[in-house]
Structure 1
Amino acid sequence: MAATILITGATGHIGHRVAELLPNQPLRLMSRQPDKLAHFTQAEKVAGDYQDRAALEKAFRDIAIAFVISGYAPPGIRASLHKNAISAAVLAGVRHIVYLSFQGASPVSKFPMSQDHYQTEEFIKQSGLSYTILRDSFYMDLIPEMFGEQRLMKGPGGQGQVAWIAREDVARTVAQVLRDPFAYSGTYDLTGPEALTLTQTAERLTHLTGKEYRYQPETITQGIRWRNDLGAPTWEVATWIGSYLAIAAGEVAPVSSAVAQITGQKPLSLEAYFSKHPEIIT
């Protein structure tokens, strides 16, 4: 009998899609709202939260392979929550952990979330667990949100490039790794087929849709000011700004062939993705 795979964050975009891509695998799906997973009739559903160690212990019990998706919390706190999940995996005797990290994860990254991802990667490496770390770039799916209704993206990203990747390509890669995790031990960057500046991204969308998209570079001070005016928490503002600074620094520019190597299928280009999903472009 095939080993049961645990998927954390199973109601999120990636976790949910990975579960859909593994219809013939025994699955245990963890979520803060497991009732939203009722349509996965063959899977076991459990309530779980990275803050709740008792729930994590139950979720990881008798699990051989675990897919751990990062949580959402202020930097530092977020990494400590991930450590709770890793500790539960060790306690349960998990054989292999697959962690969804971020491209450019580093203790000196400009992007606070990348610093957390680096800390989490270190926790995994120090745990003694067999592991696969998948570092995805920024999602193509979020590009329309970054431009907004006015089709204007503003940020201190300079002329840095992004190797945008579709969530679907990430989910397909994760699913393949979970089918045979020991064949993919190590760390892999997951990116789309090319890297684009934010200006080039706007130009490509303009050409594709016939509507004008623009990228407007701004200073850090300008970016902080208008984002603060939105009433967001300070740490979220720092994260937003940091994402653009990471782009400017070239942290998410390298292009990887890992998606094609692992899945046997090339990742979607920006044009291919938005031609497939025209409904999400304003």
Structure 2
Amino acid sequence: MNKILITGATGHIGNRVAHLLKQDTSIRLMTRTPEKLSGFGQAEKIQAEYGDKASLTAAFKDIDTAFIVSGYAAPGQRALLHKNAIDSAQQAGVSHIVYLSFQGASAQSKFPMSRDHFQTEEFIRQSGLACTILRDSFYMDLIPEMFGENRLMRGPGGDGKVAWVAREDVARTIAAVLSNPSAYPGTFNLTGREALSLTETAGRLSKLTGKKYTYQQESVEEGMLWRNQLGAPAWEVDTWIGSYVAIAAGEVASVSKAVYEITHQHPFTLEEYVSQHPEIFHP
């Protein structure tokens, strides 16, 4: 039996994956808040977090395949939290790790989180464990949030394009890989069916909703100035700006067929997603 661990089981991705595999009695759901998983009667639930190595030892015990979702912390610290999970998997004798990384992950990425994801990927490779690295693009359902209440997105994204992907497509792909991990060794980009510039994205939303959406190009300095006035930590500001600079550099522009090749279902287009999920405009 393939005993599967799903980390971040109450999070946006982990919870979707858990629902897709909820009929499988061989899953263990890891979260800091197991009381939120009352809808998973048959699944084993365990309280653990990346910063608590003792809890990770129990979480990874007797696991064959582990899905490791990224945690939340400043770049560098985040990769070390992931390393705690990887080390625990290695010590527990896990056979296969499935890690959710990010498109364009590299040591030279303009996006701090992508550099962090690449460091995590290196930790996994150094562990010697069999692995599947799934690098998703920016999430389609976050687009309205990026425009905000005024339907205006500002950032140094230039004419760079984004191969937006729906969280549902990412979760379906993860679930398929977890069910048969040995069939999918290596690294896969998870994207939608097309890449759109931020201006094109605004235009599509305007057409879909009948309301005016606008993308406004700004310099890095301009973006840093107003974001630093929001009271967020400096590393979050660097991350916000870095995401746009990475878009401008083309780091998330390439379109992959991996979602279809793994799930045998085409990923959502923006039009299809908005049609089926109008709630994204009212979070």
TM-score between both structures, scaled by the size of structure 2? 0.98
Deviations 1:175-203 (A, max 9, x none): 00011000001100000000000000000
Give SS of 1:212's match: coil
Partner of 1:50: 50
Partner of 2:264: 264
Partner of 2:2: 3
The reply to whether residue 280 of structure 1 matches residue 258 of structure 2 is no
Alignment partners' CA distance in 2, 1:91 and 1:38: 30
Q: How many correspondences in the alignment?
A: 281
Give SS of 1:169's match: helix
The reply to whether residue 204 of structure 1 matches residue 204 of structure 2 is yes
Unaligned runs of 5+ in 2: none
Compare 147-156 and 37-46 and name the one that shifted more. Answer: 37-46
Partner of 2:225: 225
Please tell me the residue identity of whatever aligns with 2:85: A
Query: How many Å apart are 1:34 and its aligned residue?
Result: 1.0
Partner of 1:13: 12
Please tell me the residue identity of whatever aligns with 2:79: A
Query: How many Å apart are 1:280 and its aligned residue?
Result: 2.0
Deviations 1:249-268 (A, max 9, x none): 00000000000000001100
Give SS of 1:239's match: helix
Partner of 2:242: 242
Please tell me the residue identity of whatever aligns with 1:7: I
Please tell me the residue identity of whatever aligns with 1:239: T
Query: How many Å apart are 1:10 and its aligned residue?
Result: 0.6
Percent pairwise identity:
68
Alignment partners' CA distance in 1, 2:279 and 2:256: 28
Please tell me the residue identity of whatever aligns with 2:14: G
Please tell me the residue identity of whatever aligns with 2:278: P
Partner of 2:98: 98
Give SS of 1:229's match: helix
Partner of 1:171: 171
Partner of 2:187: 187
Alignment partners' CA distance in 1, 2:279 and 2:143: 13
Give SS of 1:23's match: coil
Please tell me the residue identity of whatever aligns with 1:43: A
Partner of 2:23: 24
Alignment partners' CA distance in 2, 1:214 and 1:5: 43
Partner of 2:152: 152
Alignment partners' CA distance in 1, 2:81 and 2:48: 12
Query: How many Å apart are 1:219 and its aligned residue?
Result: 0.6
Alignment partners' CA distance in 2, 1:81 and 1:28: 20
Query: How many Å apart are 1:102 and its aligned residue?
Result: 0.2
Alignment partners' CA distance in 2, 1:209 and 1:252: 25
Give SS of 1:171's match: helix
Please tell me the residue identity of whatever aligns with 2:54: A
Query: How many Å apart are 1:55 and its aligned residue?
Result: 0.4
Alignment partners' CA distance in 1, 2:236 and 2:34: 27
Partner of 2:253: 253
TM-score between both structures, scaled by the size of structure 1? 0.99
Please tell me the residue identity of whatever aligns with 2:4: I
Alignment partners' CA distance in 2, 1:116 and 1:280: 28
Alignment partners' CA distance in 1, 2:255 and 2:269: 12
Deviations 1:104-130 (A, max 9, x none): 000010000000100000111111100
Please tell me the residue identity of whatever aligns with 2:84: N
Partner of 1:126: 126
Query: How many Å apart are 1:4 and its aligned residue?
Result: 1.6
The reply to whether residue 213 of structure 1 matches residue 210 of structure 2 is no
Deviations 1:128-185 (A, max 9, x none): 1000000000000100000000000000000000000000000000000011000001
Alignment partners' CA distance in 1, 2:180 and 2:205: 37
